[in-house]
Chains A and B, each alone.
Chain A
Amino acid sequence: MTKLATEERMSIVIVGHVDHGKSTIIGRLLADSHSLPDGKLEQVKELCARTAKPFEYAFLLDALRDERAQGITIDSARVFFRTARREYIVIDAPGHIEFLKNMITGASRAEAALLVIDAQEGVQENSRRHGYMLAMLGIKQCVVLINKMDLVGFDQAEYEKLVKSLTAFLAQVNITPACFIPVSGRDGDNLADASTRMPWYHGPTVLQALDTFEPEAPPVGLPFRLRVQDVYKFTGQGDDRRIVAGTIDSGQISVGDRLVFLPSGKRSSVKSIEAFNRPTQTEASAGWATGVTLTEQIYVARGELAVRESDPLPQVTTRLRVSLFWLGQRPLEMRKEYALKMGAARIPMRLESVDRVIDASTLAARPNATRVERHDVADCVLKIGKAVAFDLASDLPVTSRFVIVDEYDIRGGGIVREALPDQQGWVREKVLVRNSKWERGSIPLERRAERFNQRATLLLFTGPTETERKALAKELEGRLFAQGKVVYFLGIGSVLYGVDADIGRQRENRLEHMRRLAEVANIMLDAGMILIVTAAELTTEDLEVIRAAVEPERIETIWVGDRMTTDLECNLYVSDGEGRAEALERIETRLKDLGVVYRPW
């Protein structure tokens, strides 16, 4: 029996078309590496004999009763076995098409992959699909097992023919396997022990090949990237630290480094690196779930990407050219809203266009597609509701990854190939410069929030021209003021003739008007205020400009009036017939729910 001598572990995944022998190989590897619990093999054999079924090594994996009834392994079950070098965690990825999401779950946790191909059947639909997905998931270490060599008489020519065609196919999907191995899963040839039936093969056994793989080292040498998971301020036991927490995706930081947070563009320096029950440290590097405090107190939110000022900057935009795979029962379609999750950011998203859909079963492009069907792989353009910071797959794969959520579940995932220009790029550039030049006062935003008992917010009242928008907005101002809030009403007209005096009121200046309005709002929000702005008929485009200059989390939109005269989607709607008091009540409730106005305890 092997001892638990090593502490090193590696996760591997076994993929391939259904019935090509994945489960058999795992079962056999377990048995031949002497990793089975005592009596397990005998017990399963006995069970088979009792139920008059021929014994299969695959049965060993069927830990769950109902699986045995179905005859296929249904989820990413993990199995542990050991070699002289280390412990392996095998993530079994079933080949049945229904269960692709399990294979992806398994493969994304793996550091190396075994791709199993039936020597007789050759490459099949799921061999291709899985190959494509391994590449997208980012698995670099891969061994191809040509299984069931017994069925082709252990013939070298057959084997080499298959290796040749496979090499071509794998190159197409960007996978360079470490090696090919002819095996018989059923009989154990070249799994743990070298086969005597294929004397022409001089390469490693599967276990030897696995043992040559190196654990993936965290990418310390790359640019620093940390996706902010949260900002903690736990006050218990007199703790007054304000800690920006997250896991370092790549690179490293030291105390004193200048950081930029994107997309907001805010800057600060690392004051300390925080940890519990660890000696004080002045550096942290890729792979660590860490936390830092900053010298200047800036408002940073979950979902931002922290980078080092001296490192190459990431991309920031709202339009992404991506490669993705889709797992949802319902296709990915245009004109439907989804959520895009990238690191800790979660953003509304729409499919803008489908460049090409690759049918995974043939890898041929399906032309003129307007949607992405289940289990398809596609190149698309995505439009998201606010800017996000990320990297390109060709630069930094980890920070190029995203998933798509529909309803409550992850339905697809992919990597960003290209950052496309959007209409707010010019605003964002100005904001980046503005934020880097911004001179902070001595009072942090949160101290103002505490003093004023409110969260600085921009309330945008819009709607058709003829409604009572302004009256409602002013009444809200009055009510909040009476409650002791620091609140200010600003009609867009008040900005037009002052701040905007140097530019005309023509249509082509409309977005510049919006930008200036947003800059004014930004100052008032920084002063801790609740700012109520009225502007007729705001469009989505207008709002996107405003959101590029004011933190989107601080904007609430209210549409006043029954008629929808623009394409804007708002947070709240007030109808013409609704009583003033009722409408105000609803708005105030929402402000309380959002924590803009604190609820009295």
Chain B
Amino acid sequence: MDHLEQLENRSIHILREAYANFRQLCMLWSIGKDSTVMLWLARKAFFGHVPFPLVHIDTSFKIPEMIAYRDKLAAEWHLNLMYGQNEVALAEHRTYPDGAVDRLTCCGLLKTEALRRTLSGEGPRYRFNHATRTYERDRNTEPFTGVIVGARADEEGSRSKERYFSPRTTQSEWEVQDQPPEFWNQYKTEFAPGTHVRIHPLLDWTELNIWEYIGREQIPTVSLYYNHGDGTRYRSLGCGPCTQKVHSEARDVSEIIVELRTGKFSHIAERSGRAQDKEDGGGLESLRRDGYM
């Protein structure tokens, strides 16, 4: 068994535990490479099916190609896809850079707040209708109690403190200092009313592992990750206004793998193209405590 197979098997085991233990379970799908690998792992775990809804938080500032790719895969893979959105903040233009708020506030409103309300069912959920290929307001407003998230430990400092199954309080907060123990493939699968559990099947994967796996399994990805001739590409995908490209010649998966293997980015944080991190004092810590992905 090689290292990718080892990672794959552990992730599948975690996904199956999540499915067996959480009746109100969903998976966050950001359309990025990590959560798409996670979605692929779900298809592996459940033999081609994805037996829970995928939740996308649509900030409305995502790069259009991402949304097109999302809807294409939803149809092809028969996904139960829904998105949530902070419609109030968008209507009031409390956004960056067009509104009167800074980046962190914008993230707080369009992502953290939108996510919290979508998960709890207070905010609207729009579900993909496979017959009409449009989104319809979902009638189900039950809160999700198990939320599968594609966080990786090596991505950014605070994520290395996560458990595979991490409890969140009723306010969606993360109590870093007081996490339950986790050993022998036994996870926190029980939770007090009102709280929920974040599940992290990709915790042990690195950026390189993700690309190696995408290459091996031939998982379709957004073309934004590749250089189309101008010597730049996205390394991490977010909202258009706050995500910068990196200088890179890599035109396809195998070239990205070579690039990572030779250590091109080993000294540059993966999310360095994501402007909100910098404003958060160099870490996502405070955003994450509040329930950010």
Contact = CB atoms under 8 A, between A and B. Distances in A.
B3 A8 contact: yes
Given A3-B263, A234-B51, A291-B47, A101 B13 contact: no
A245 B43 CA distance: 13
B261 A5 contact: yes
Contacts of B48: 234, 237, 239, 276
A407 B46 CA distance: 30
A101 B178 CA distance: 10
Interface in B247-289: 260-263, 266-267, 269, 281, 283, 285
B130 to A, nearest CB: 11
Interface in B157-194: 157-158, 160-161, 163, 176-177, 179-186, 188, 190-192
Interface stretch (B15-23, B94-102, B225-233): B15-23
Given A75-B179, A229-B13, A413-B184, A38 B44 contact: no
Interface in A209-236: 218, 229-230, 232, 234, 236
Contact of A403 (B186, B191, B263, B267): B186
Contacts of A65: 281, 283, 285
A551 interface: no
Contacts of B192: 408
A80 B186 CA distance: 24
B9 A108 contact: no
B78 interface: yes
B92 interface: no
A343 to B, nearest CB: 8
Contacts of A434: none
B182 A410 contact: yes
B20 A4 contact: no
A77 interface: yes
Interface in B6-43: 6, 8-10, 12-13, 16-17, 19-20, 43
Contacts of B73: none
Given A3-B263, A105-B182, A232 B177 contact: no
B267 A408 contact: no
A137 interface: yes
A478 interface: no
A344 interface: yes
Contact of B20 (A75, A229, A409): A229
B65 interface: no
Contact of B267 (A7, A37, A74): A37
A247 B185 CA distance: 11
B47 A101 contact: no
Contacts of A4: 208, 260-263, 266
B154 interface: yes
Interface residues of A, number: 62
Contacts of A2: 263
A9 B3 contact: yes
Given A105-B163, A229-B20, A289 B9 contact: yes
Interface size class of B (residues with CB under 8 A): 35 or more
Interface string A348-373: 00000000000000000000000000
Contacts of A234: 46-49, 51
B153 interface: yes
Contacts of A239: 47-49
B153 A78 contact: yes
A243 B13 CA distance: 15
B166 to A, nearest CB: 11
Interface in B85-131: none
A243 B2 CA distance: 25
Given A5-B261, A408-B190, A218 B1 contact: yes
B237 interface: no
A171 interface: no
A288 B281 contact: no
B45 interface: yes
A482 interface: no
B45 A289 contact: yes
A78 B160 contact: yes
A401 interface: yes
A64 interface: yes
B40 to A, nearest CB: 8
A110 to B, nearest CB: 10
A410 B181 contact: yes
A277 B183 contact: no
Contact of A75 (B10, B13, B161, B188): B161
Given A65-B283, A78-B160, A274-B47, A137 B183 contact: yes
Contact of B188 (A7, A38, A409): A409
B78 A104 contact: no
B16 A287 contact: no
Contacts of A374: none
B59 to A, nearest CB: 27
A137 B183 CA distance: 9
Contacts of B177: 74-75
Given A287-B1, A410-B188, A243 B47 contact: yes
A403 B49 contact: no
A563 to B, nearest CB: 32
A101 B260 CA distance: 35
Most buried by A among B48, B49, B179, B183: B183
A544 B49 CA distance: 39
B140 to A, nearest CB: 13
Contact of B183 (A218, A291, A413): A413
Given A8-B3, A410-B188, A63 B158 contact: yes
Interface in B182-210: 182-186, 188, 190-192, 204, 206, 208
Interface of A: 1-5, 7-9, 37-38, 63-65, 74-80, 89, 101-102, 104-105, 107-109, 137, 218, 229-230, 232, 234, 236-237, 239, 241, 243, 245-247, 274-277, 287-289, 291, 302, 327, 341, 344, 401, 403, 405, 407-410, 413
8 contacts: A1-B266, A9-B3, A65-B281, A104-B181, A218-B1, A327-B181, A408-B188, A413-B183
Give 5 nearest A-B pairs by CB, closest first: A108-B183, A63-B157, A101-B181, A289-B12, A234-B49
Given A108-B184, A403-B184, 8 more contacts: A1-B267, A9-B3, A74-B176, A75-B161, A75-B177, A104-B183, A234-B48, A408-B192
